[in-house]
Amino acid sequence: MKLGGKGDGKTDSTKAVDEAWKAACAGTGKQTIVFPKGDFVTGPLNFTGPCKGDIVIQLDGNLLGSTDLALFKVNWMEIKRVDNLEISGKGKIDGQGAAVWSKNTCAKKYDCKILPNHLVLDFVNNWLVSGISLVNPKFFHMNMFKCKNITIKDLTITAPEDSPNTDDIHMGDSSKISIIDTVIGTGDDCISVGPGTEGVNISGVTCGPNYGISVGSLGRYKDEKDVTDVTVKNCVLKKSTNGVRIKSYEDAASKFTYENIKMEDVANPIIIIDTKYCPNKICTANGNFKVTIKDITFKNITGTTSTPEAVSLFCSDKLPCTGVTLNDINVEYAGKNNKTMAVCKNAKGTATGCLKELSCF
């Protein structure tokens, strides 16, 4: 506010925020940018480094994204090449997406114009975000690329269930990512782990309604890197379209552990490995499958599903999934007149302590 920002929910404060960032980035030691209580409207924000010191963004008030799409080239908030950054507080980052969701045409055509993402991190190291809320983005809530040592904790991430492409947290080509004690409910993937990512820890997360926790899509582009060392523990999924899911086209390799997960009325199959994921008909029906999916552990997964297929493993007949472990899987169909079932194709592994209907090996 000392730089001219106004928290009246109307005045454009973009210039004031830009000046605050430039001053903080140029300062040595620990620099703090404070958003006091109020509603600060901005257009696109570029927080670009490298910076001379460590920066804390203290969000006590709310940031509101302008609804004028003409202002945005790509994204709303972009953080690039910044190390040692913290964003914390009790405020909201609100994209005001409801005003522009009708302009999203991605459900109708593959080469659609992408609306601005909420918060984008490129080449960011040692980032902590805690306590704040991400609300109603125009497109993705958070997208990370080439990031390392990222901790996301105690966040609330929300958008209406029918909001288009409001994925919560997406990451690609990143490492050492922790998502802890966060509540998420939006219109797309709760958390999606993209190619080239390793060392992901997801713990204490509540998801729903949304599309669940997904790995992929993998193998969509040539020379994509593997996804390895992903652990999902002590999570709850509520009324989501999917539970835990691996979705790939033709070229991918994966290694994951899912443990202590509770499903509450999850709509589609609870555990899915799908090596023939083919949305928008952009892949070939008779592709040369090069998928390597192995060493996947599902342990102590309980609760209910609203469809009979509690376990669905669809793997390539040319390269079957191997090393799949189903341990203490007890998810039951909540409907009447149908029994819980598993559908396993071209999958090899072991099943112990599971419901009889789910022991598909």
Tokens at 207, concatenated:
């998801």
Q: Where are the domains of the chain?
A: 8-358
The model's pTM is: 0.91
Q: Report pLDDT for 285.
A: 46
pLDDT tens for the chain, 361 residues long, are 999 999 999 999 999 999 999 999 999 999 999 999 999 999 999 999 999 999 999 999 999 999 999 999 999 999 999 999 999 999 999 999 999 999 998 878 877 888 999 999 999 999 999 999 999 999 999 999 999 999 999 999 999 988 998 888 999 999 999 999 999 998 888 999 988 899 999 999 999 888 889 887 654 555 567 888 999 999 999 988 888 988 765 555 577 999 999 999 998 778 777 655 455 554 444 445 555 788 899 999 999 999 899 998 888 777 788 899 999 999 999 887 778 899 988 889 999 999 988 988 8
Task: Return the closest-CA partner of residue 141 out of 162, 108, 163.
Answer: 163
* Distance of alpha carbon 264 from alpha carbon 305, whole angstroms: 7
| 209 preceded by a cis bond (ω within 30 of 0) | yes
Q: Report pLDDT for 248.
A: 64
State the distance between the two ends of the chain, measured CA to CA, in whole angstroms.
63
8-358 folds as: Pectate Lyase C-like (2.160.20)
Tokens at 47, concatenated:
């927080």
Q: Report pLDDT for 284.
A: 47
Give buried/exposed letters for 78-103 (b at 16+ CB in 10 A, else e). Answer: bbbebbbbbbbbebbbbbbbeebbee
